[in-house]
Amino acid sequence: MIKGAFQTVLSIIIILFIIAAVSFSGIKISDQNLFDKDELKSESLIYLMSLENHHLSRLIPNYQKTSVVEAVIKFITSINLKDQRSLLISEISGLENYNSTIFVAGRGTDFTNLPIETPPHHEMRNTQSDHDGNHEQKENIQNIEGEGKIYIYHSHNRESFLPVLDGVKNPNLAHDPDKNVTLLGKRLSDNLREKGIQTIVDTTDIYGVLMKRGLKYPSSYNVSREFVQAFLKENDRIQMMFDIHRDARPKKVTTTTINQLSYARLFFVVGVSHPNYEENLKFAKTLNHELEKKYPGISRGVFGKSSKEGNGVYNQDLLAHSVIIEVGGYENNMEELNRTIDALSGVISDYYWQEAKEVQK
């Protein structure tokens, strides 16, 4: 008890010292730093309180062992001495985009090679498709047979790959209205159909809709949400949803070799800015685990993104079995991409039929 009281007094003295030092230096501590509801700050505060009341430690069973000084610094300054990124995030504009949560780290995955999302360059080639962006949804859905159980769509439908774009070498121009990630969605759909699973692939030109409405690229998910909600309203039997993208990392990050064959690596993105994201996360982790068992190294992992780094929801609040899958990067060719889609198809099929068995039981 005496030791705990001493630690508590020491922590209070340190806090007062830091506040005094900041006050005399003229630096302001923002309300956001003091009262941010960020999980790290909450855990730091609970940790300090648990030094006096040990029962509170049960609220943070997974909290890393740390010192009183480290906990105080985390609470006051948002700096985590065990994470160097926190020293720079508040000072360098845009660095907060690298604050993704790595739920499952794939082979070689760390904070130096997190996924990158880039909008189309202003010099991107345009075609007649650009003027047709605001079609009705039913005119943009292809490969529909009966009542589909799996819905595949593309919020960033024009993300493309340099090897399929004639004469294009600039990664910033790896976007195209025709040759793009929708090719992967169609292949995934075709593969699942061959395995007896009805699917619907939505090739709505989301970027075309953005252009027509005068919206910026970050609004892509708001627009795709309109189409997804409208579709789900009339199709209540959908069991899974996949939003297929590609990353903007170079080939050395987005490619691996398995059994002497080259595969585009993929990863899963879970939006954590809605109450039920744990269901999406469980789904993503299961698919990731099964993929890694059969194709070691094919996945870069499972990442969580909040509204601080992007949309933060990604339509995943609409269905428990919903996730973003980013396949390859701008330098991957179709052979590599197709091999990965084929591998993914097998895992999704196994999951689907296993779920069907559980329902029958």
Claim to verify: residue 295 and residue 216 sit in the same structural domain: yes
Say how many domains are in the chain.
2
| Domain assignment of residue 261, yes or no | yes
Parallel, antiparallel or unpaired: strands 255-258 and 261-264: antiparallel
What's the predicted TM-score (pTM) here? Answer: 0.73
The pLDDT of residue 171 is 94
Phi and psi at residue 333, in whole multiples of 5°?
-95, 170
Given pLDDT bands bounded at 50, 70 and 90, which one contains residue 110?
Answer: confident
Given pLDDT bands bounded at 50, 70 and 90, which one contains residue 36?
Answer: very low
Q: Please provide the average confidence, as pLDDT, over all residues in the chain.
A: 79
Give the domain-ending residue among 67, 92, 117: 92
Residue position matching structure tokens 């907060």: 96
Predicted confidence (pLDDT) per residue in 149-171, tens digit: 999 999 999 999 999 999 999 99
Claim to verify: residue 12 and residue 146 sit in the same structural domain: no
| Domain assignment of residue 112, yes or no | no
Claim to verify: residue 141 and residue 71 sit in the same structural domain: no
Give the domain-ending residue among 48, 76, 92: 92
* pLDDT of residue 5 exceeding 70: no
The pLDDT of residue 285 is 98
Task: Kindly report the CATH number assigned to the domain that includes residue 354.
Answer: 3.40.630
| Domain assignment of residue 99, yes or no | no
The pLDDT of residue 210 is 94
Claim to verify: residue 237 and residue 334 sit in the same structural domain: yes
Do 4 and 51 form a contact (C-beta atoms < 8 A)? yes
**Range of 24's domain?**
2-92
- Residue 11: C-alpha distances to residues 23, 36, 51, 261 (Å): 18, 20, 10, 57
Claim to verify: residue 290 and residue 340 sit in the same structural domain: yes
Predicted confidence (pLDDT) per residue in 261-295, tens digit: 999 999 999 999 999 999 999 999 999 999 999 99
| Domain assignment of residue 11, yes or no | yes
* pLDDT of residue 134 exceeding 70: no
* pLDDT of residue 106 exceeding 60: yes
Mean pLDDT on 254-267: 98
Claim to verify: residue 245 and residue 312 sit in the same structural domain: yes
| Domain assignment of residue 98, yes or no | no
Which has the closest alpha carbon to 268: 293, 241, 250? 241
Given pLDDT bands bounded at 50, 70 and 90, which one contains residue 15?
Answer: low
**Least confident span in 36-40, 95-99, 121-125, 185-189:** 36-40
Claim to verify: residue 355 and residue 259 sit in the same structural domain: yes
Claim to verify: residue 88 and residue 154 sit in the same structural domain: no
| Domain assignment of residue 118, yes or no | no
The pLDDT of residue 115 is 87
Given pLDDT bands bounded at 50, 70 and 90, which one contains residue 327?
Answer: very high
Claim to verify: residue 145 and residue 241 sit in the same structural domain: yes
- Residue 60: C-alpha distances to residues 53, 55, 125, 281, 303 (Å): 13, 10, 52, 20, 22
